[in-house]
Amino acid sequence: MCAIEVEPPRGRSTETRPVVATERLLLRAPVMADAPAVAELANDPGVARMTTSMPYPYGLADARDWLGKAERADPRDEAVFAIEHRQFGFIGMLVFDEPAAGRMELGYWIGRPFWGRGYATEAASAALGWARAEWRRNVVWAGHFADNRASGQVLCKAGFLYTGDVVARPCAARGGEAVPTRMMVWLA
Ligand SMILES: CC(C)(COP(=O)(O)OP(=O)(O)OC[C@H]1O[C@@H](n2cnc3c(N)ncnc32)[C@H](O)[C@@H]1OP(=O)(O)O)[C@@H](O)C(=O)NCCC(=O)NCCS
């Protein structure tokens, strides 16, 4: 894993956006041109139903709206990465954000055609390495729905431990239903 800095898109402030490179992937700032690929892969109940906020169905307008927010995010508080496969292009997203002040959380999704090949584990591990070395974060939280064993596996393999806490989190794609969510923590 290595991290390099790239210039922001034209019109942005002077801060730079990190790029994290792994053997098969590039984690880079998302851009509006990603919208069609985001909409195509995100419009999948198997993806949206495992996240708190992604709607289903998920259209181009949802992707544009989300990418606009990502572009405006303050990189001191949030890090949003498009996960790009060196051969296949855009395959998913990875986000560090702070749903509660002072509590950085990791979230991600991978498009269904790319499941089961270790990409989420590779992306999460590299992103955490970057967060520790470049972003100076020592504690990262994550929560996965109790019926999402695959994400639990990803988080365990990336070095997270279960805290024992199970909280109810609403899921937009399940009609706002509160879903038991197993909390995990990663310590640098
Ligand atoms: C969860 C998700 C990110 C996994 O992506 P991925 O690239 O397929 O994950 P990886 O290939 O890195 O690893 C998946 C691990 O989970 C395991 N796994 C996959 N499906 C599983 C299941 N149904 N039950 C238990 N383990 C499962 C795999 O075997 C693998 O572990 P292994 O390498 O030890 O065999 C992807 O399925 C996804 O985007 N799902 C929808 C959105 C989501 O869940 N986001 C996370 C919200 S917390």
Domain 2-8+19-137 falls in which CATH fold? Aminopeptidase (3.40.630)
Read off the pTM.
0.93
CA of 9 to the centre of ligand 1 (A): 32
Q: Whose CA is nearest to atom 45 of ligand 1?
A: 109
Q: Which atom of ligand 1 is nearest to the CA of 119?
A: 7
- Number of Cβ within 10 Å of residue 54's Cβ equals 22
Buried b (16+ CB within 10 A) or exposed e, 90-126: bbbbbbbeeeeeeebbbbbbbbeebeeeebbebbbbb
pLDDT in tens, 58-87: 999 999 999 999 999 998 899 999 999 999
46: which 2 tokens?
């198997």
Give 10-54 pLDDT, tens digit per residue.
444 445 789 999 999 999 999 999 999 999 999 999 999 999 999
- Tokens linked to 24: 């098969």
Ligand 1 binding pocket, CB closer than 6 Å: 47, 50-51, 107-110, 115-121, 144, 148-151, 153-154
Most informative mutation of 58, 144, 151, 179 for ligand 1 (most atoms within 8 A of CB)? 151
Q: Where in the chain are the domains?
A: 2-8+19-137
pLDDT, mean of residues 158-183: 98
First to last CA, the chain: 16
Contacts of 43 (CB under 8 A, 6+ apart): 56, 57, 58, 59
